[in-house]
Amino acid sequence: MQLSEINSGTSNVNGIGKVGNFFHTYFSDTADSNEKISSKPREHTDIEGNKVNEEFGDILSFEKRSGAPIQVLLVGHMDTVFPKTHSFQSPQKLDANTLLGPGVADMKGGILVMLTALQAFEASNHGGQLGWRVILNADEETGSHGSVDTLVSAAAHADAGLIYEPALADGTLSRARKGSGNFTVVATGKAAHAGREFELGRNAIMGLYAAANRLEQLTDLAQGITVNIARIAGGTVLNVVPAQAVLQFNVRCHSAEQQKALDSTMKQILQEVTEQSEVAFELSGSFSRPPKTISPANQLLMDWVTESGKQLSIDVQYKDTGGCCDGNNLAAAGLPNVDTLGVLGGQIHTAEEYMLIDSLTERTKLSLSILEKISTDGDRLQALSEQGKVN
């Protein structure tokens, strides 16, 4: 509950620092070395059409036996979706096994699972063959823009990735994931008096409305493509034809090929609407989360998780999801990973977020078993990963 009481919304750098200090104390006792890494700032366009330079909290890195022949990368994030101004700030026990609170499932509880599993692993006799690195980033909830380079660099030196996002609400683990991109369109028209010179104006809101309609029609559920028109703002007073409007939207799809085609089509749509409406558009943003597809090495790692679950009488099931996480970027970098090894719970990203307290123990045992399996059979995973790179 102590961790949940510390607000660590992505924009709350001080709060993330406090959470980081907590984890620094406990992980440092288990690791050989630790490091604070500065997140890269991100420039983006806000809903007012302004260029904004966004700063993120520090990334924490902990390493053990960096020279061991088999390496595991364990990843978690310290930020939550709840800013300091959100009403949801305090945890409370709903019953003996249910804890309600910001970040209890996503993913402060998951990081505790990771930490406890590593402590148990180090107390076992399996350690010599396996080295590990923990990375706790501070900006996963907004796309890991400031930490993705650190994660991808770490992935190049690892054989398996374990990520501690919460399991799905029914306890199922994620398999393949869609890729995702966030985009902003700034529309620039021409202001005019709405009564005297209406015909001289070029309405940025109406131009943007036409573009939004076209963009939304790219949604194709059968092909796994969704375009969510999420936010729109613009205009000043009612007797002025609006000269500026801003649209923000999210796009998700199954494949890199779809992302490339959608990127081209979106630009074409904006060009066509410009020609029709005489409203200019500036598109910014990108597909920052590549799709997570399942390689043979990734399937082997997932099978090991299933086997570990059976040994503990845990029924591990997988299903594909439209959600994204750092597992997307690590998979795209060639690292097989399982990305929902955290606690059981639900209602994440809402003021009803909760975790099941007994899942802390269950999922710790599962992670310990996985680490032991990788330590024993990691050379099989290495061979399969290398074969995939050659092919």
Measure CA 257 to chain center: 21
The mean pLDDT of the chain is 96
Give the pLDDT score at 350.
97
Phi-psi region of 382 (alpha: psi -120 to 50; beta: other; left: phi over 0): alpha
Determine the pLDDT at residue 388.
63
Q: Which two tokens stand for residue 3?
A: 């961790």
pLDDT score, position 389: 58
Gap between the Cα atoms of 120 and 297, Å rounded: 26
pLDDT tens digits, one per residue of 36-47: 999 999 999 999
d(CA 106, CA 77): 8
Of 2 and 357, the one with more pLDDT: 357
Return d(Cα 285, Cα 181) in angstroms, integer: 7
**Domains contained in the chain, CATH given:** 13-178+291-390 (3.40.630.10), 190-289 (3.30.70.360)
Phi and psi at 176, nearest 5°, equal -75, 150
Check residues 169 and 197 and name the one with the higher pLDDT. Answer: 197
> Which ranges of the chain would DSSP assign to H, the alpha helix?
13-30, 109-122, 148-155, 204-216, 256-277, 296-311, 326-332, 359-390
Q: How many CA atoms lie within 13 A of 286 on its CB side?
A: 9
Asked if residue 137 lies in contact with residue 144, where contact means CB atoms within 8 angstroms, the answer is yes
Distance of CA 192 to the CA centre of its chain: 43
Rounded to whole angstroms, the Cα distance separating 382 from 378 reads 6
> Who contacts 367 (Cβ-Cβ below 8 Å, separation ≥6)?
113, 114, 117, 162, 341
Omega within 30 of 0 (cis) for the link into 107: yes
Rounded Cα gap, residues 150 and 58, in angstroms: 11
Pairwise CA distance, residues 235 & 225, whole Å: 31
Could you tell me if 298 and 337 are in contact, meaning their C-beta atoms sit under 8 angstroms apart?
A: yes
| Residue 119: per-residue pLDDT | 96
Whole-number Å distance between alpha carbons of 12 and 8 = 6
pLDDT confidence tier of residue 299, bands split at 50, 70 and 90: very high
Q: How far apart are CA 109 and CA 207, in angstroms?
A: 46
Q: In terms of Cα–Cα distance, which of 330, 5, 41, 317 is closest to 172? A: 317
pLDDT of 157 reads 96
With a cut of 70, say whether residue 340 has pLDDT above it: yes
Task: Select from 92, 76, 86 the least CA-distant residue to 1.
Answer: 92
CA 79 vs CA 14, 165, 175, 187, 356: distances in Å:
11, 12, 23, 32, 20
Q: How far apart are CA 205 and CA 194, in angstroms?
A: 14
Three-state SS at 212: helix
Across residues 222-250, what is the average pLDDT? 97
Q: Which pLDDT tens digit goes with each residue over 121-177?
A: 999 877 679 999 999 999 999 999 999 999 999 999 999 999 999 998 788 999 999
**Quick check: helix, strand or coil at residue 176?**
strand
- Rounded to 10 degrees, the C-alpha dihedral 355/361/366/369 comes to 160
The amino acid that residue 258 corresponds to is: Q
The DSSP-derived string for 102-135 is TTIIIIIHHHHHHHHHHHHHHTSS-GGGEEEEEE
Question: Whole-angstrom Cα distance, residue 261 to residue 302?
Answer: 31
Q: What are the tens digits of pLDDT across the range 108-125?
A: 999 999 999 999 999 987
Q: How many residues does the chain have?
A: 391
Helix, strand or coil, per DSSP, at residue 341:
coil
